[in-house]
Chain A
C-alpha cells in the first residue's frame, strides 16, 4: 500500500509561499527528503505529521484524509513523528518524558505503557540513562529520546525531520542502523542535509527546492559528475549539488545538463 500520497499541495505563511505544488508518494521503506534550507521540507513534513493543514491540493496518509477529523485521529494513532526541534520537558527523566508522550498516544494502562516505554528506550540504546534528567543529556542522546518517542506503539508511518542533525560521525552511523531497522515493514520519511545519509539509507529520494519537487527517484538515478559532489538527475530534470552538510539545487528543469 502507498502510505503517503501528496498531490499538488501548496502552503503559504502570509506572503511567503512555502510550498507551491508538491507531488510525490511513498510506500514501505525509507524515503529521503532532500533539499536546501528553506526549501519547504519541514513544512511538508509537518503536514504529513498532521500538524499543519495544506492550503490546497490533496493529501492522503495511510489511505485516509487528514483534513477529516475522524480520519485524522485514525492517522495519528498509527503515526510516529520526530519534529525538527523536538521540545522536551527538561526536568523529566528520559523514562518520564517518553511515558508522558505515551499517555498522549493513548496508552492508558500503566503497566502496558511502561513496558512499551522500556521497549523503545531499549531500542535506541538509552536503557542505562533512562532515569537521568533530559537536561543532563548530550545532544546526541536527546535526539535518540526523540526517536524513541517516535516509535512508541509500533507506528506504521514514521516522520523524522532531520534526525541526524548535530550528531558526530560515529553517532550518525549508529543512527542509520537504527533508522534502517525502523524502516523494516514501515513507511519512513526522513529529511536530511546529509547526502551520505540518503545514499546509505534511502532506496528512494525526493528532492524539494523552492517549494516544489524537483527530483523523485532512486539515489543512483542521481548521477555524479566529475568531482562527485554535483549530481544530475538521469532524466536531466534537475542539477543538484550535494556536498557535506548542504544541498543546493543548481538548475531546475535543465534541458541539456551542462556541467558546473
Chain B
C-alpha cells in the first residue's frame, strides 16, 4: 500500500511537473557546463600567473591576487558566494536574473579549483621540458603554450572531468538565489503536495543519471586525449 502510494505520487509529480523538471535539467547542465568551460579558460591564465618563475613587480601583484582569489573562493561555500554576488551586484545596479548570477558564481568558483588542478598538472611536467623549449629559443609564454600546457592539461584531465561532475551536484545550492535547477524544480513540485521524500527521490535519480552518464563520457574523452598511442616506457 505504502509502495503503491509512493510510486503513485512519483508518477503524479513527474507527469504534472515534467516541463519544470526538464527545464531544471537543462539549467543544471548549462550551469555545470558553462561553469567548467569558463572556469577552465580562466584557470589556464591564473595557473600561468601562479606558476611563472621570473616575474617583475606586476607579476608579483598578479600572483598575489590569484593566491588570494584561490584561498578565499576555496575557503568559503558556494552558497554564500552566490548570495553575496547576487545581491551585492544588484545593489551596485546590475540588474541580473538568478540564472546569470548563478552562471557567474559557478564560473568564479570553478576557476579557483581548476587553477589549483592545473598548477598541479604543470608541476607534474618535468622541468626539462620547459628548459628544452627555452633552449631552442621559445619565449617563456610559447614554451608554456606549446609544450608544457598540452602535457599539463592531459595530466589533469581526470580532475577537470571530476570538477564537472561535482558542479552538476553542487549547482543545487544556487536555489538560494532562486535558480530553478533540478533540485529546486523537484522541491517546488514536492512542496505542493507535501511529498518531499518522493520529490527528492526523483531529484536523486536524475542527478545520478546525469553524473553516471557524464563520468562515462568523460572516461571516453580522457582515453582519447590521454594517450593517442599506448605508452611503452623504455628502460631509459
Say whether A and B bind each other: no
Chain B residues engaging chain A, CB cutoff 8 angstroms: none
- Which positions in A face B, CB cutoff 8 Å? none
